[in-house]
Structure 1
């Protein structure tokens, strides 16, 4: 039996939903940590300062927007950034989000 939660198909990606998911700083942090890691990360291994129930909500919003894919390895729920699928639907969006933080803010 597959315990993985449902994920939207690429054809169901909605830019509004993706942008709304990325507005929250905790969710942006999850996405940037996944991008930097370059590998799957268990829900409990992220550096986020929220309760477990709040974190669960954030992961659900990201999953429902199509930004992450979740699956189980043993008892750990693992998270994968859907970079290739997002780049196909919204070219450059994830790259802009994940490189902006490293580049820092450039003032005028």
Structure 2
């Protein structure tokens, strides 16, 4: 039985410009805010984005490749969680500032 493993950058590989680019899109910011509020692993299907499935997949990939979220397969579900500890280690306060600012808008 093969398990699908998705590539994620290490904490040291996180780049500010990639993180900021990923967070600049309203749909991706919505995903990040949802995950921050949930505080747990969340299946893609739990986050209702007003985009096609393929566009949603693209947004999740950008977030994962930037190092903002972690994605793991559990059975047939792909679960997402924020890489809060990694982001706070690399860019202290950035995630909280972005989430707070997005909530104020």
Question: Is TM more than 0.5 here?
Answer: yes
Match of 2:64 in 1: 63
Offset of 1:100 from its aligned partner? 2.3
1:98 aligns with 2:99: yes
Offset of 1:47 from its aligned partner? 2.2
Which structure has the larger Rg over C-alpha atoms? 1
Q: Secondary structure at the match of 1:87?
A: helix
CA distance in 2, matches of 1:33, 1:55: 14
Q: Which runs of 4+ in 1 moved over 4 A?
A: none
Q: Under a length normalisation based on structure 2, what TM-score does the superposition of the two structures give?
A: 0.94
Q: Secondary structure at the match of 1:47?
A: coil
CA distance in 2, matches of 1:31, 1:79: 10
CA distance in 2, matches of 1:4, 1:93: 28
Unpaired runs of at least 5, structure 1: none
Match of 1:85 in 2: 86
* Matched residue count: 104
What RMSD over aligned residues (CA atoms) do the two structures have, in Å? 1.1
Match of 1:32 in 2: 33
Which moved further from structure 2: 92-101 or 57-66?
A: 92-101
Q: Under a length normalisation based on structure 1, what TM-score does the superposition of the two structures give?
A: 0.91
